[in-house]
Amino acid sequence: MSILTDISEALQKGRAKQIKVLVPQALEEGIPAKQILEEGLLAGMSVVGEKFKNNEVFVPEVLVAARAMNVGAELLKPELAEAGVSAKGKVCIGTVKGDLHDIGKNLVRMMFEGKGLEVIDLGVDVAPEAFVQAAVEHGCQIIACSALLTTTMPAMAEVVKAAQAAGIRDKVKIMIGGAPVTQEFCDSIGADAYTPDAAAAAEKAVALLAG
Ligand code: B1M
């Protein structure tokens, strides 16, 4: 059995201690961080997601898997960052109001940091006004919103409206993403960019700042 399968299985069982041993071991074996993330950690989380959907596992099991996922992703962070990048701009990021999912948001934050962006992480369940207030306070050029639930996606439209109401809409770019989010939805709410994954989000942020 490969070490990537071991990582996937440890994640499915929520064994953070095992993840702490296996991820550095995989790096030592020369497996690229991206491959460890995708074929180890995310592969495991995808099995958990499927079982969650089918009522084969429940919130407590998913929570421990999520904790193990965050531990593993943190271990990969230095490897995912690009060497020698200098600060290129500021972003405030958060998961929208009513939504507690933070794994994808944390990955996007890591990829942003890897591209040399300064990131203000507002956490989860972030009110639209809080995104705007943080952008003003910290002088962010980008507001980045994550949502994992179809029921919380509309909060992204509220962020766009809050930025308009605060008179900063022409000064900030609003990026959105998360499993249920689409380009069509992005267009419909007047956000500036939708990207399907964390790596694409970081590329897009750099392009938006350059443009
Ligand atoms: Co939740 N959950 N959950 N959950 N959960 C989903 C999302 C669900 C699809 C499961 C299912 O039914 N199959 C389903 C949503 C259904 C829907 O709305 N369509 C669901 C549900 C229903 C719920 C609850 C309502 C369950 C309940 O209580 N009955 C509840 C809601 C709580 C709340 O938020 N208010 C709930 C709770 C939880 C836990 C707390 C137990 C836990 C979250 C723990 C945590 O995050 N710390 C949890 C988890 C872990 C999941 C699954 C299993 C995994 C999500 C995940 O982290 N994926 C998920 C099922 C699944 O996705 N298969 C599920 C890995 C992560 C890397 O992917 O976040 O999509 P993702 O990020 C991707 C991209 O989307 C993108 O980049 C990342 C990859 O590179 N991306 C961006 C994300 N944000 C971006 C922003 C960008 C750009 C790209 O630009 C700014």
CA nearest ligand 1 atom 53, residue: 49
Q: What is the 3-state secondary structure (H, E, C) of the chain?
A: CCHHHHHHHHHHCCCHHHHHHHHHHHHHCCCCHHHHHHHHHHHHHHHHHHHHHCCCCCHHHHHHHHHHHHHHHHHHHHHHCCCCCCCCEEEEEEEECCCCCCHHHHHHHHHHHHCCEEEEECCCCECHHHHHHHHHHHCCCEEEEECCCCCCCHHHHHHHHHHHHCCCCCCCEEEEECCCCCHHHHHHHCCCEECCCHHHHHHHHHHHHHC
**Which pLDDT does position 129 carry in this prediction?**
98
Would you state the pLDDT for residue 111? 87
Q: Is 149 in the pocket of ligand 1 (CB under 6 A)?
A: yes
Tell me the domains of the chain and their CATH numbers: 2-82 (1.10.1240.10), 90-210 (3.40.50.280)
What are the tens digits of pLDDT across the range 202-211? 999 999 999 8
Binding site membership of 174 for ligand 1 (Cβ less than 6 Å): no
What pTM does this model have?
Answer: 0.92
- Residue 101 Cα to ligand 1 middle (Å): 5
pLDDT along the chain (211 residues), means of 10: 93 96 97 93 93 92 93 90 71 98 93 89 98 97 98 98 98 98 98 95 94 81
**Pocket lining: 143 vs ligand 1, CB cutoff 6 Å:** no
